[in-house]
Amino acid sequence: MEIPHSGYRAATLLAAAAAALALTAPAALAAPLRPTAPASPSAGQQASEQRASEHAVPFTEAAVTDHGDGSYTVSWHAPGVRSVTVYAGGRQVARGGARETVTVRGLPAADRQWFRLAPDRGEPLTLADRSLHLASAPNFRDAGGYRTADGRWVRMGVLYRTSELSKLTDADVAKLRRLGIRTDYDLRSPGERAKAPDRIPEGTRYVVADVNGGDVTEVPTTPEQAVELMTAGGRAYVSLESARTAYGALFRDAADPGAQALMYHCNAGKDRTGWASAALLTALGVDRETVMRDYLATNEYRAKEVAAILAPLSPHDAAVLRPVLEARPEFLNASFTEVEDRYGTFGDYLRKGLGLDDRVLTGLRNALLTD
C-alpha cells in the first residue's frame, strides 16, 4: 500500500521521503516505452499481425520519443501496408515502409508535438511522446498510446496519470490549461491532500476519490515487512469499499467525453494510480504484458527521484524504504490475483466490484479507443 511519507518511524526516513516531493528532474528524463518485436514472430504474433493488416488501424507497434533537443524518433510496424507517411503540424515530415524508425528535426516549438501516421491502406494513427516532460512532475504521462488485443488503440491526449501536483510551476499549470485538462481525480488520503494540495488550472474540476479511505499508519521495520505491506496494498485496491467507490467514480468520468481531458494521481503516481491505469487498460482490452510494462515504467520515470531519496540513508533504512518507492510486478499481480479470488473474472470485477453497467463500459470503449 502506498504509505504517506509522514508515516515512517525514523527521522532520516521521514526527511528523505519528504524530500522526494521537492525534487525536480530534467525534462528529458522520461521517455516513452518503445515496443520491440522478437526476431522470429510466434504463431500468436503472426495471427495478431494478420488481424492488424485487416483492421482499420493497421499498426501493431508505434511510438514517439521526444529527445529533448528538438529531435523526435517515430517508429512503427504496420503489417500489410507498403508505405507510411508521417505528418506533424499539418505537413509531411517523414515517410517509410511497413516497419520503420525515422528521426524528425526542425519542428516549431509546441507544448506537445503530435505525429499523424498515415498508411497507404487503413486508417491513420495519431501519437505523441507519452511524457509531458514536466520537471516538477516527472511521472506525469499519457495513459494512452497502447494497442488492444483486437487491434484498436487507446487514444492519447484523453487520460493522464501522474504523481502529486503540489510542486507544479506556473508554467506547468499553464501548459496543462493549454492541453485542455478539465478534470483532476485525487486518489490520496486526507493527510496527503492537506500536506501537499494540488495546483491545477483554474476551472479544472477537482474530485476527491480517496482509495485508502483514510490515512495509512502502518510502518515497516524490515524489507520483508515493506514488501508484505505493499502486496497487501495491491489486494486492498481491489477489496476495500473505499477503493471500489473511488475507482468506480473514476471509470464513469473516464467514459464521459465532457470530463476529458482527465488526469488522476496519488502521491508517487505508482500504486493507487498504477492500479487505476492497469484496470482501465485491461478493461479496454490491452494485454497483461503491456499493462505490466506501463506499470513498471514508473521506475524509469522516477529513477533519479528514488536514487536521491535513498542516497543519504543507512543501508538498512534504504533496504526498508526501497520496496515502498518501487513498482514491482508482485505488487500489481497481487491486485489481479485479488480480482480472480473475489470475482472470478475481470468483467465481474468491473460490474460487481465497481458497479459499472454496460452503458458505462461501452462508453469507455467509445471514448478511449480508436474506431
Coil, strand or helix: which one is 121? coil
Say which residue, 35 or 64, is predicted with more confidence. Answer: 64
N-terminal to C-terminal alpha carbon distance within the chain: 37
Instruction: Choose which CATH entry (3.20.190.10, 3.30.565.10, 2.60.40.10, 3.50.50.60) describes domain 34-129.
Output: 2.60.40.10
Which of 22-26, 56-60, 226-230, 291-295 comes out lowest in average pLDDT? 22-26
Q: Could you tell me which residues are beta bridge partners of residue 185? A: 207, 264
**pLDDT for res 133:** 93
Contact partners, residue 102, CB within 8 Å, separation at least 6: 73, 74, 75, 86, 94, 96
Within 10 angstroms of residue 267's Cβ, the number of other Cβ atoms is 24
Contact partners, residue 44, CB within 8 Å, separation at least 6: none
Please name the CATH architecture into which domain 5-27+138-368 falls: Alpha-Beta Complex (3.90)
Residue 15 clears pLDDT 70, i.e. is over it: no
Q: Are 132 and 142 in contact (CB under 8 A)?
A: yes
Q: How confident is the model over 20-35, as a mean pLDDT?
A: 29
Residue whose C-alpha cell is 515497516: 220
| Residues present in the chain in total | 371
* CA distance linking residue 75 with residue 35, whole number of Å: 9
pLDDT in tens, 236-281: 999 999 999 999 999 999 999 999 999 999 999 999 999 999 999 9
Cis amide bond preceding 261, omega within 30: yes
* CA distance linking residue 158 with residue 142, whole number of Å: 8
Q: Are 260 and 159 in contact (CB under 8 A)?
A: yes
Residue 207 clears pLDDT 70, i.e. is over it: yes
Percent of the residues in the chain that have a pLDDT greater than 70, as a whole number? 85
Instruction: Record the cell numbers describing residue 96, joined without a space.
Output: 517509410
Q: How confident is the model over 72-84, as a mean pLDDT?
A: 97
* Phi, psi angle pair for 161, to nearest 5°: -110, 145
Q: What ranges do the domains of the chain cover?
A: 5-27+138-368, 34-129
**pLDDT for res 73:** 98
Q: How confident is the model over 199-222, as a mean pLDDT?
A: 93
Instruction: Record the cell numbers describing residue 315, joined without a space.
Output: 543501508
Residue 8 clears pLDDT 70, i.e. is over it: no
| pTM for the model | 0.86
pLDDT in tens, 113-170: 999 999 999 999 999 999 999 989 999 999 999 999 999 999 999 999 999 999 999 9
Q: Are 259 and 183 in contact (CB under 8 A)?
A: yes
**pLDDT for res 217:** 75
* CA distance linking residue 116 with residue 118, whole number of Å: 6
pLDDT in tens, 100-123: 999 999 999 999 999 999 999 999
**pLDDT for res 22:** 30
Residue 48 clears pLDDT 90, i.e. is over it: no
**pLDDT for res 218:** 79
Residue 219 banded pLDDT, cuts 50, 70, 90: confident
Residue 371 banded pLDDT, cuts 50, 70, 90: confident
pLDDT in tens, 282-326: 999 999 999 999 999 999 999 999 999 999 999 999 999 999 999
Pairing between β-strand 125-128 and β-strand 91-96 as defined by DSSP bridges = unpaired
DSSP 45-75: HHHHHHHHHHSSS--SEEEEEE-SSS-EEEE
CA distances from 60 to 53, 78, 312, 334 (A): 9, 6, 44, 29
Q: What is the mean pLDDT of the chain?
A: 88
pLDDT in tens, 324-355: 999 999 999 999 999 999 999 999 999 999 99
